[in-house]
Chain A
Amino acid sequence: MPDNHQSRLDFLEELAGTLRSLVPSGLFILDGGLRVVSVNREYCELCGKRAGDIVGREIEEVLPSSLVRDDGIGDALRKAASTGAPSFIADIRYPVPDSQSVRTLNVGIRVVGRGEQRRLLLTIDDISDRVEKIFELSMLRSVNSAIAAGDLSLNKILNLILACVTSGSALGFNRAFILFVDKAGSRLAGKMGVGPASREHAMRIWAHLAGPSKTLKDVIESQSENPVVRDVHLEEMIKAMDFSLDDDGNVAARAIREKKPFKVDGRGAAAAEAGPLTPILGSHEYVVVPMVVRDKAIGAIVADNIFSMVPITEEHVQLLTMFANQAGLALEIAEMYRNLTQERNKLKEAYRQIRAAQEKLLENERLAAVGKMAAYVSHEIRNPLVTIGGFAQSILKHPDRTGRTRQRLKVIVDEVSRLEQILTQVLVLSKPVKPYFQHAQINQVISDTCTLIGPDLQKKKIALEKKFGARLPKVMLDSKQIMQALLNLFKNSVHAMRPGGKLTVSTGRDGEFVTVTIADTGRGISKKLLDKLFMPFFTTKRKGSGIGLSVTERIINDHGGRIEVASTVGKGTTFILYLPIQSGYNAVETQTGAAVPAAGI
């Protein structure tokens, strides 16, 4: 089967690769006295010696002394020679002499044969490339996971990127800088940089690196413990990096515009022609890599090896390019997140301003209501007072005129009760009394109210028709308040009608509400006035206070219900009250929480 065949090929390929990777960089066969019996060709090529120069010599003379002594290979070999026990030393950090590169080695010792025939098999395996690959992967992964973890502070991500570019065995640049394209897309400016301030500082760092192998996690953690040295020199360099993107003589500008990496290499003309970066960095070999996100260069990473002078290879440039795009994505996401946060804050602020404006408006409304209230009180209280006081003085002047005195006293009594009514209404409006809810049959409450309005109806010869719905559920209500609300509506209707008019009161059910409909055959209310109908102190009546309907509305609202009104001029007006069947107790809560402008008076 072709599939089988393919998987077999894949397997063989993989096996071959594994075998190749197992072939060590150095392979020695030593005798019991630790003299080299044989050495592989690879090692000879690596150190540029002939096998004849190595065979027959003691291994301690052949290998670099630091490896034999400091890293314990000598001890391990002697122990193996005497006891026959194999050993394995992993992750030896070996600084290559006269170079700044540090290699990672695995050393294995196996024993074959006994006594005089005893032979030791010494393998030295350079695993640096594998370590690098692992580091590379962990670098990309750490940037990705920073995004995934929602760890999106811009500075954190910048630090992470710089740590990746400068630390470890994968890229290991001496210095790195991040530059950003500005919002207008016309300039590229330095944002952050990292690197040793001097060669001495660099040496200290390398000495540290030559120690136990570090993972990226270690690097980042040690960096957050000891934040990057922000020396003045570095800061000045970052500040100096501010370039126009139109400048063709600047590799940084070109890297952004052409969205491809530039490597500046060599002294003299080549470096000088690269533009202003060369004098700022003070180095002749560096790389500029754009950070491209969704086909747009958002910035660049500039890196060099000014202290170690390690050449920047094509592989480094490629890896840095790949990494830069990953970094760009992380930065863009951080930026988007920041914008989102800003937008959210803007919205919050706008909302706060609207709230403030609304409160101001309510306050103004409240003040206007206070003004109206003052005018209302001034007029409505003063008028009865004038009448009462005027007649009282008149009685005082002529106490002997008993007939007129009786008549005047009646006026005084009437006016006092009018004053009391006004006060009651104002009180209800300004300081609402908490409803006292009880289960009640709405038809009964209406009947009681009709009895109260009876005399007014007779006086004006107005017919009353009751159309009560049958089997209505009981409603949670304050019957006294509802009577007051209904009475106000009835009085309005009676007032609006000529003698001979008809008042129709009907009840019914509409979903979760019990409805009360009051229809009159009065003169009707114009559209313009309908809007103002429930406004406190609004009246068209000669003797009206403008309080009745607003009190009615308040009471119905306190019961969790609502009022609707429809009117045709010349034909009549219909009010419909909706009272919730269920929410008597809820209504208590809405009532206490309700803020009606006039409530503050």
Chain B
Amino acid sequence: MATILVVEDDKNQRVLYEDELKEEGYHVILAKDGREAVRKVRDNKIDLVVLDIRMPGADGVETLSNIIAVNKKVPVILNTAYTSYKDNFMTWAAEKYIVKSSDLSELKKSIKEILDRKKPGE
């Protein structure tokens, strides 16, 4: 069972993602900010990170580079309400950039694709 870390500052959305991804059959770990996210990447075997990019106090882009510093192999999906971050070259380090939507099918599809691609290489 693949383990997914969801980094999300919004409490209700953490509940939503946890519910939905568990239903897809993943093991879900939650982090509410960048610091917690980096710690959990270090301490757990994470297969994929879903990261909200705008988190006041700890910028998502900064968190992204911190995660990569700890584990440069872990794929990261940027899941954000903003489109403007697409222009930030740091976000190119992410595997995928998704604009948040109430329809989670794009997110789920991306997670599946990335994990499928990863498997043969392991």
Instruction: Show the binding face of A for B, using Cβ within 8 Å.
Output: 375, 378-379, 382-383, 385-394, 411, 414-415, 539-544
Bound-state Cα–Cα, A385 to B102, Å? 7
Chain A residues contacting B16 (CB-CB under 8 Å) are: 386-387, 390-391, 394
Q: Is the CB of B69 closer than 8 A to any CB of chain A?
A: no
Q: Which of B40-48, B49-57, B88-96, B114-122 contacts A (4 or more CB under 8 A)?
A: B49-57
* Contacting residue for A378 out of B12, B13, B81, CB 8 A: B81
Q: Name 10 interchain pairs, CB-CB below 8 A, sorted by A.
A: A379-B54, A383-B10, A383-B81, A387-B12, A387-B13, A390-B102, A393-B102, A394-B20, A411-B12, A542-B56
- Chain A min CB distance to B110 (Å): 16
Please judge, given known A-B contacts A375-B82, A387-B16, whether A393 and B10 are in contact too, CB under 8 Å: no
Asked if A378 and B82 make an inter-chain contact with CB atoms under 8 angstroms apart, the answer reads yes
Please judge, given known A-B contacts A379-B82, A385-B102, A414-B12, whether A390 and B20 are in contact too, CB under 8 Å: yes
Bound-state Cα–Cα, A392 to B10, Å? 17
Task: Give the interface SS of chain B, mostly helix, strand, loop or mixed.
Answer: loop
Please judge, given known A-B contacts A379-B81, A393-B103, whether A387 and B10 are in contact too, CB under 8 Å: yes
- Chain A min CB distance to B37 (Å): 14
Interface string of B47-88 (1 = CB under 8 A from A): 000000011110000000000000000000000011110000
Asked if A415 and B12 make an inter-chain contact with CB atoms under 8 angstroms apart, the answer reads yes
Bound-state Cα–Cα, A394 to B23, Å? 10
Cβ-closest 6 pairs across A and B: A389-B102, A382-B81, A379-B81, A390-B16, A387-B12, A386-B100
Asked if A540 and B56 make an inter-chain contact with CB atoms under 8 angstroms apart, the answer reads yes
Chain B residues contacting A394 (CB-CB under 8 Å) are: 16, 19-20
Instruction: Show the binding face of B for A, using Cβ within 8 Å.
Output: 9-10, 12-13, 15-16, 19-20, 33, 54-57, 81-84, 100-104
- Chain A min CB distance to B55 (Å): 7
Asked if A383 and B100 make an inter-chain contact with CB atoms under 8 angstroms apart, the answer reads yes
Chain A residues contacting B10 (CB-CB under 8 Å) are: 383, 387, 543
Asked if B19 and A386 make an inter-chain contact with CB atoms under 8 angstroms apart, the answer reads no
Asked if B9 and A542 make an inter-chain contact with CB atoms under 8 angstroms apart, the answer reads yes
Asked if A539 and B82 make an inter-chain contact with CB atoms under 8 angstroms apart, the answer reads no
Given A382-B100, A386-B81, A387-B16, 5 more A-B residue pairs with CB atoms under 8 Å apart are A386-B16, A386-B100, A390-B13, A391-B16, A393-B103
Asked if B56 and A541 make an inter-chain contact with CB atoms under 8 angstroms apart, the answer reads yes
* Contacting residue for B15 out of A388, A392, A411, CB 8 A: A411
Please judge, given known A-B contacts A378-B81, A393-B102, whether A386 and B55 are in contact too, CB under 8 Å: no
Chain A residues contacting B12 (CB-CB under 8 Å) are: 387, 391, 411, 414-415
Please judge, given known A-B contacts A375-B82, A379-B82, A394-B20, whether A386 and B13 are in contact too, CB under 8 Å: yes
Bound-state Cα–Cα, A415 to B13, Å? 10
Bound-state Cα–Cα, A450 to B122, Å? 60
Bound-state Cα–Cα, A539 to B9, Å? 15
Bound-state Cα–Cα, A393 to B10, Å? 18
Bound-state Cα–Cα, A415 to B33, Å? 20
Chain A residues contacting B81 (CB-CB under 8 Å) are: 378-379, 382-383, 386
Bound-state Cα–Cα, A378 to B83, Å? 9
Please judge, given known A-B contacts A387-B12, A540-B56, A542-B56, whether A392 and B84 are in contact too, CB under 8 Å: no
- Chain A min CB distance to B96 (Å): 17
Please judge, given known A-B contacts A379-B82, A394-B16, A414-B12, whether A386 and B101 are in contact too, CB under 8 Å: yes
Asked if A389 and B103 make an inter-chain contact with CB atoms under 8 angstroms apart, the answer reads yes
Asked if A392 and B102 make an inter-chain contact with CB atoms under 8 angstroms apart, the answer reads yes
Bound-state Cα–Cα, A414 to B100, Å? 19
Chain B residues contacting A542 (CB-CB under 8 Å) are: 9, 33, 55-57
Bound-state Cα–Cα, A541 to B55, Å? 9
Chain A residues contacting B13 (CB-CB under 8 Å) are: 383, 386-387, 390
Chain B residues contacting A415 (CB-CB under 8 Å) are: 12
Bound-state Cα–Cα, A386 to B79, Å? 11
Bound-state Cα–Cα, A376 to B70, Å? 31
Bound-state Cα–Cα, A383 to B9, Å? 10
> Nearest CB to that of A388 among chain B residues?
B102
Bound-state Cα–Cα, A318 to B16, Å? 107
Bound-state Cα–Cα, A189 to B82, Å? 73
> Nearest CB to that of B100 among chain A residues?
A386
- Chain A min CB distance to B36 (Å): 12
> Nearest CB to that of B104 among chain A residues?
A390
Bound-state Cα–Cα, A394 to B100, Å? 16
Chain B residues contacting A540 (CB-CB under 8 Å) are: 56-57
- Chain B min CB distance to A413 (Å): 11
Chain A residues contacting B19 (CB-CB under 8 Å) are: 394
Bound-state Cα–Cα, A357 to B100, Å? 40
Which interface residue of B33, B54, B83, B102 has the most chain A CB atoms within 10 A?
A: B102
- Chain A min CB distance to B70 (Å): 23
Bound-state Cα–Cα, A544 to B13, Å? 16
Chain A residues contacting B103 (CB-CB under 8 Å) are: 389, 393
Chain B residues contacting A388 (CB-CB under 8 Å) are: 102
> Nearest CB to that of B105 among chain A residues?
A393
- Chain A min CB distance to B101 (Å): 6
Bound-state Cα–Cα, A107 to B81, Å? 111
